[in-house]
Structure 1
Amino acid sequence: MSQSSLPEDDYIIGASNQEILRLGQQHAIWRERALAGWRRAGLKPGMTVLDIGSGPGHASFDLAQLVGPTGKVIAVDQSALFLEAVNEGAKLRGLTNIETLKSDLGKLTLPGHSVDMIWSRWVLSFLADPQDLFERLKTVLKPGGVFIAHEYGHYETFGFSPADPVQDRFIDAVKASWRAFGGEPNIAKQLPAMMANIGWKTEFMTPHIFTTRPGELVWNWPMGWLKSDGIDRLVELKFLSEEDGQRFHALANERAADPNSILTTPMVIEVIARRTSSD
């Protein structure tokens, strides 16, 4: 199976109104970590920020408010549905400093020296050739500009406790789906080398991981994906058998009903790098 198996404006998790709602809940949970990362990266009013793989714009809205009317956010996504949500959300919030650009990141082209910061969250892992994207972003970022990513670095930490054998098969299916479509679920570990290839210097790295229990806010992040179409999508795409899909649905329901169960989230690694050259 290849990336061409999906519609041009789709992505492997699926672009839908339900997914827009799930991504909103996801951003609410991760918003504090994103804000802290942006502060570490030196986000300031007046900056131009490129949000690659913006989705429906939850991070773009925060970025636009922080850079203010003298700054600008360029939200890039291949989904027309998501970009429509960005435009509608910006209008509702009175934000006039967000531009949207429909583009496959594999074909993205922007003027040189045009942005101060590039933000990526759960995007690079889906690309067949992230190094190619970095080559094209190399001159888009202004000299001294900063790149910050929140990307998966060790997906294998995801799981329930008590564990169950079907859990391992589910994680294997998730990783297989990524790689079959040309992506890499643990891409964050490869980013420093990729960025060194284009002369960007990695300045900071830190892991982000949650351990949560039923009824807690963070519990709803992975469970929201599982209960929406996370499991069924893998069955639909033939990476998980129908039997294992049903078993994992049952396991998730059992663990949600057990107040003593624990869910550990996939490890996300924050990577901050800077363009030090002027060429």
Structure 2
Amino acid sequence: MTSERRYEYELGHSEKELRRLATQAALVDPMTRDYLRRAGLRTGMHVLDIGSGAGDVAFLAAEIVGPTGLVIGSDRSPAALEAARARAAQRGLENVIFHQCDPASFAFDISFDAIVGRYVLMFSPDPVEMLRGVARNLRPGGVVLFHEVDWTGAASFPPAPTYDNCFRCIAETFRRVGTNPNMGLALHSTFIKAGLPAPSMAISALAGGGSDSLSGIDLVSDLAATMAPVMEQMGVITASELGPDTLQDRIRAEAAANASVVIGRYEVGAWSRRI
């Protein structure tokens, strides 16, 4: 693991981060569920979930494929998979199993009807090669779907400068550690370079004003607080300038004072069928 990729693991596997991901999932799961259905997931399918983390996308897929289907969640993190297995047991899900591996290079015993992933390719040092690798596990005619983000799509109006700067700092930090903050909009070219047909695409975003904006504000301020040490390490902004302990309250107050509508990052879905 090289130094520029170390941040990926710090973001994805701590107990605190798994809790943040659960909060995030409650907000973005409706978008992912919509992309899964539009991509053609249906009852009885065998689905491979890439980079399962705590299992949120695997659970959405399991909901769609039902008891006659199967979802295999894959991740390299033992801590994340331990949490995923515990959550699956709590939900009484018998059609989901989790496997520790690098899915881009692992040869599974079965071919899948669908391969899905959320917020995975952006953390890959070579998303084209990763997509090409996982697609080998897809049966002919099977569908591959990824839900990724574009951090530069966030905005506020009338402007809430602290909110806007928060997104700028997150995007720039991702860029400096070797993570693509524009992965969502790069999905089209990534699919084509990986040898897949040009994907169908859709885009969504969290948006709201007043009390409807609070969940989106909390989501970005919590992530910025998590990333604060790396932001400072990468020379983007110091912790004292960011003020992570008061960031959420300051953005809320600023948005309320300006009657701002805040728009979150672009949530992009792309899906294509293997010929």
- TM-score, normalized by length of structure 1? 0.84
CA offsets 1:48-85 (integer angstroms, 9 cap, x no match): 11111212112212211321232211112233222111
Q: Quote the offset at 1:236 in angstroms.
A: 4.5
Q: Does 1:235 align with 2:235?
A: no
Q: Quote the offset at 1:143 in angstroms.
A: 0.6
Question: 2:266 aligns to what?
Answer: 267
> CA separation in 2, counterparts of 1:225 and 1:19?
13
In the TM superposition, 1:199-278 aligns within 5 A as: 199-216=195-212, 219-226=214-221, 228=222, 230-238=224-232, 239-246=236-243, 249=247, 251-255=250-254, 257-258=256-257, 260-276=259-275
In the TM superposition, 1:8-87 aligns within 5 A as: 11-87=9-85
Q: 1:120 to 1:128 in 2, by over 3 A?
A: same
> CA separation in 2, counterparts of 1:16 and 1:192?
31
Q: Which amino acid aligns with 1:21?
A: R
Identity %: 28
Q: Quote the offset at 1:93 in angstroms.
A: 1.4
Q: Quote the offset at 1:42 in angstroms.
A: 1.0
Unpaired runs of at least 5, structure 2: none
Contact 1:47 1:67 in 2 (8 A): yes
> CA separation in 2, counterparts of 1:194 and 1:49?
21
Q: Alignment partner for residue 139 of structure 1, among 114, 129, 136?
A: 136
Q: Quote the offset at 1:147 in angstroms.
A: 1.1
Q: Which amino acid aligns with 2:135?
A: K
| Structure in which a larger fraction of residues adopt helix | 2
In the TM superposition, 1:136-215 aligns within 5 A as: 136-153=133-150, 155-163=151-159, 167=163, 169-215=165-211
Q: 1:91 to 1:126 in 2, by over 3 A?
A: same
Question: 1:125 aligns to what?
Answer: 122
Contact 1:77 1:83 in 2 (8 A): yes
Contact 2:214 2:252 in 1 (8 A): no
Q: Which amino acid aligns with 1:264?
A: I
> CA separation in 2, counterparts of 1:31 and 1:181?
27
Contact 2:169 2:231 in 1 (8 A): no
Contact 1:26 1:221 in 2 (8 A): no
Q: Quote the offset at 1:161 in angstroms.
A: 3.7
> CA separation in 2, counterparts of 1:181 and 1:130?
15
Q: 1:32 to 1:168 in 2, by over 3 A?
A: closer
Unpaired runs of at least 5, structure 1: none
SS class of match (1:200): coil
> CA separation in 2, counterparts of 1:51 and 1:144?
17
Q: Which amino acid aligns with 1:60?
A: A
SS class of match (1:152): strand
SS class of match (1:202): coil
Q: 1:167 to 1:134 in 2, by over 3 A?
A: same
